[in-house]
Chains A and B, each alone.
Chain A
């Protein structure tokens, strides 16, 4: 923890802004606005990671979270609503309950945090180099290695991609061969080989 005063100021500034922006995210009435503020919160999160000596992670955060996920969210917003639609305010009861629940949760967590003696490391300990250490850990075959979760994560991502496509795809009208796109019924831009073709008469969809 070097540069004590500077660090303190930076920390509190980033924290304050992040909190304000997070509040804006969850209360924004236009979804696009919420997506943008989310992007800023995540970016600030990357800054926080830098303060915590996790530079590689900060890079990952920006690349994946900000650059990928927020973009996906914007896609979703565009696809599922008209761009200028304004979300209605939730009813007071729901707001109150939600606030109550969230506040309660925060207090419980804060209470737990403040009353627990966490095992702290020696203040003079040197943090590891972020990128090489992470890389080594991810490919470590030993007992404390993360190679298995690493491989599983890749499977998970594959499954997510395939599942996403499967769910979001348009189902074809009965009797029609599969289409890979196109909005109008009857539009065919892909003809499967003869062996894969469904019988013209009445055949139901095959999985």
Chain B
């Protein structure tokens, strides 16, 4: 085992460079290049991310060189700088945590971000806000990396918010469009609301963690000595995930509103994760977020930001696992969202909306995979991270391909596309690869990761969840092939489609690279890289799972071809037959309307309006009152100055007598 932090390999000690490069690039591009040389801004920003990706790979190599795959993978904190000092025993540091999932995420984030940057050089060309776009993309990349590398909860929270801000800026990129502005506002407000729960959870954990730090802390500090820079602090993950602490928190009789302390805290933290990862019912912002440019959707709302919630749950997995109820909540919410989103995705006509709901559904998979795992049965944990990894590739590819199609056809609706197979061959081929991957067909990546999730659910003793996962696999294949067929096959349904042309090279190269990833990612023996110890999970194909899963996928594909291959009449009659049910699903189950009703009628009328009234009349009234009182007092005393000297004389004599009276009574 390695010794002190100073003996770590160079790449690990400088792991913070991975996040620093995008930050420096953000500052430089934003302040210097954007006003002066916008075209150069794009190139510099892209190169910066490629550099960061190279550094991330170096970190990965160093880490796995130190702890070879298949062995133990402890968490390291090779870099930490004291930032806030509340008390000598309670400081917050800004630093870098290196462990399997953070290494995984930095590789994924930087590489996908680099490819998206490259793609954007072509996609955003000619747009007046070109420099602004790359500035914000760099900011986002920096924020995401800071979040992923955070060694303590507070740094996570800080970068969490920063990620939210970047997302806001990017969704509202076309700020002259009211719908885009509304969408960015919605995203920010919903995630901000969720972050309230997150913050409460942090406060609970922090408070109780700090209270117990005196007893439990020293033992944990001894365990991690030599692996962390600086001292262990109460908000560090290495402390909060420690089994000894978790046992104390779980068994302590303290309850919050009838729920155990640890469970309550973890559910609150999960609220934040649910917001960021768009779990039901906080999913409403994600479909609207498609108002942003397509590269934004590809990077943020498919591969990186939305997985922050999943990442948070994974990061605090031991804490979640120590409270069985919290994990159950995670699993249920994840499974429900998975099914819910898939159902809606079958009915949407906007290609980006379909992909958005598809993302929701896949996030549901990742979430419930974590939910069905346990400390001693961590298969779900590994499966979730594996799916996160593969999903990043094929979802980004799907979005970028959709972007190319939208760019060529000048429309988002699949019914205005068609016949693009011949006109856009590269796009078509890569899109097909991604669609097969998401449908879970061998040998593409999705097959392996989805299978592992289903295996974890089944073997973990959650047959219902397994069933839901299987059903959604079929639905996924169905709706993904629906859009594939309508978009690429058949005749051109519209003028735009008739005149489509292939994407330029700078856009095509990322597509191809991602397609390669979508094929090859599944073959990595993931469990030997990312795991929690416990049962050594075999990376192999378990036929008992594979066959039902693949059958479900093929079923979905077949249904899609049946309904959509020759025009869409069969589909339309089917939709008409389902009538109101179809309409409800198409309207996203009216959830948005419910929210609008709640905010308008309940929050605005019953909460906001009285508070505003109070503010205007009581608070302002008090201030005005003090001013008015002064004025009245002034006017009153002003009347004493009648200008008549004799009145002054009377006051003089009267005053003198009064004073004499006082003196006399004092002397008596």
> What residues of chain A have their CB less than 8 Å away from a CB belonging to chain B?
94, 97-98, 101-102, 104-105, 108
Contacts and interface: CB of A to CB of B under 8 A. Distances in A.
A97 B660 contact: no
A104 B653 contact: yes
Interface string B222-242: 000000000000000000000
A101 B657 contact: yes
7 contacts: A94-B646, A98-B646, A98-B650, A102-B653, A104-B653, A104-B657, A108-B660
A98 B660 CA distance: 18
Nearest to B656: A105
A98 B648 CA distance: 11
A105 B653 contact: yes
Interface in B642-668: 646, 650, 653-654, 656-657, 660-661
Contacts of B646: 94, 98
Counting chain B residues whose Cβ lies within 8 A of the other chain, the interface size class is under 10
A102 B653 CA distance: 8
A108 B657 contact: yes
Contacts of B657: 101, 104-105, 108
B660 A101 contact: no
Nearest to B661: A108
Nearest to B654: A101
Main SS class of interface, B: helix
Contacts of B661: 108
A96 to B, nearest CB: 10
A98 B645 CA distance: 13
Contacts of B653: 101-102, 104-105
A204 B653 CA distance: 45
A90 to B, nearest CB: 9
B646 to A, nearest CB: 7
Q: From A98, A101, A105, A108, name the one whose CB has the most chain B CB atoms within 10 angstroms.
A: A101
A62 to B, nearest CB: 30
A87 B661 CA distance: 35
Contacts of A98: 646, 650
A97 B653 CA distance: 10
Nearest to B651: A101
Contacts of B656: 105
A108 B661 CA distance: 8
A98 B646 CA distance: 9
A147 B614 CA distance: 76
Contacts of A108: 657, 660-661
A109 to B, nearest CB: 9
Contacts of A102: 653
Contacts of A94: 646
A94 B646 CA distance: 9
A196 B91 CA distance: 89
Contacts of A101: 650, 653-654, 657
A97 B646 CA distance: 11
A110 to B, nearest CB: 12
Nearest to A102: B653
A97 B652 CA distance: 12
Given A98-B646, A105-B657, A108-B657, 11 more contacts: A94-B646, A97-B650, A98-B650, A101-B650, A101-B653, A101-B654, A102-B653, A104-B653, A104-B654, A104-B657, A108-B661
A97 B654 CA distance: 9
Contacts of B654: 101, 104
A102 B650 CA distance: 9
A105 B653 CA distance: 7
A97 B650 CA distance: 7
A102 B656 CA distance: 11
Contacts of B660: 108
A102 B649 CA distance: 11
A182 to B, nearest CB: 33
A98 B654 CA distance: 10
A108 B656 CA distance: 10
Contacts of A105: 653, 656-657
Nearest to B658: A104
5 shortest interchain CB distances as A-B pairs: A101-B653, A104-B657, A97-B650, A108-B660, A101-B650
A104 B656 CA distance: 10
A101 B657 CA distance: 8
A118 to B, nearest CB: 17
B379 to A, nearest CB: 101
A98 B647 CA distance: 9
B225 to A, nearest CB: 89
Nearest to A108: B660
A59 B652 CA distance: 35
A102 to B, nearest CB: 8
Nearest to A111: B664
A94 B649 CA distance: 11
A150 B650 CA distance: 34
A108 B658 CA distance: 10
A94 B642 CA distance: 14
Contacts of A97: 650
B598 to A, nearest CB: 68
Nearest to B660: A108
A6 B12 CA distance: 125
A160 to B, nearest CB: 21
B666 to A, nearest CB: 15
A111 B654 CA distance: 17
A194 to B, nearest CB: 47
A104 B660 CA distance: 11
Nearest to A109: B660
Contacts of B650: 97-98, 101
B490 to A, nearest CB: 103
A20 B660 CA distance: 28
A134 B657 CA distance: 35
Interface in B456-475: none
A19 B656 CA distance: 24
Interface string B5-23: 0000000000000000000
A190 B114 CA distance: 105
Contacts of A104: 653-654, 657
A122 to B, nearest CB: 30
Interface string B614-654: 00000000000000000000000000000000100010011
A102 B646 CA distance: 13
A195 B304 CA distance: 100
A97 B661 CA distance: 18
B647 to A, nearest CB: 8
A102 B657 CA distance: 10
B664 to A, nearest CB: 8
A101 B649 CA distance: 10
B110 to A, nearest CB: 87
A67 B653 CA distance: 31
A45 B272 CA distance: 100
A12 to B, nearest CB: 28
B650 to A, nearest CB: 5
Nearest to A94: B646
A98 B644 CA distance: 14
B658 to A, nearest CB: 9
Nearest to A115: B664
A178 B370 CA distance: 109
Interface string B457-499: 0000000000000000000000000000000000000000000
Interface string B102-126: 0000000000000000000000000
Nearest to B652: A101
Nearest to B657: A104
Nearest to A90: B646
A91 to B, nearest CB: 11
B16 to A, nearest CB: 82
A77 to B, nearest CB: 19
A101 to B, nearest CB: 4
A102 B660 CA distance: 14
A35 B660 CA distance: 33
A175 to B, nearest CB: 35
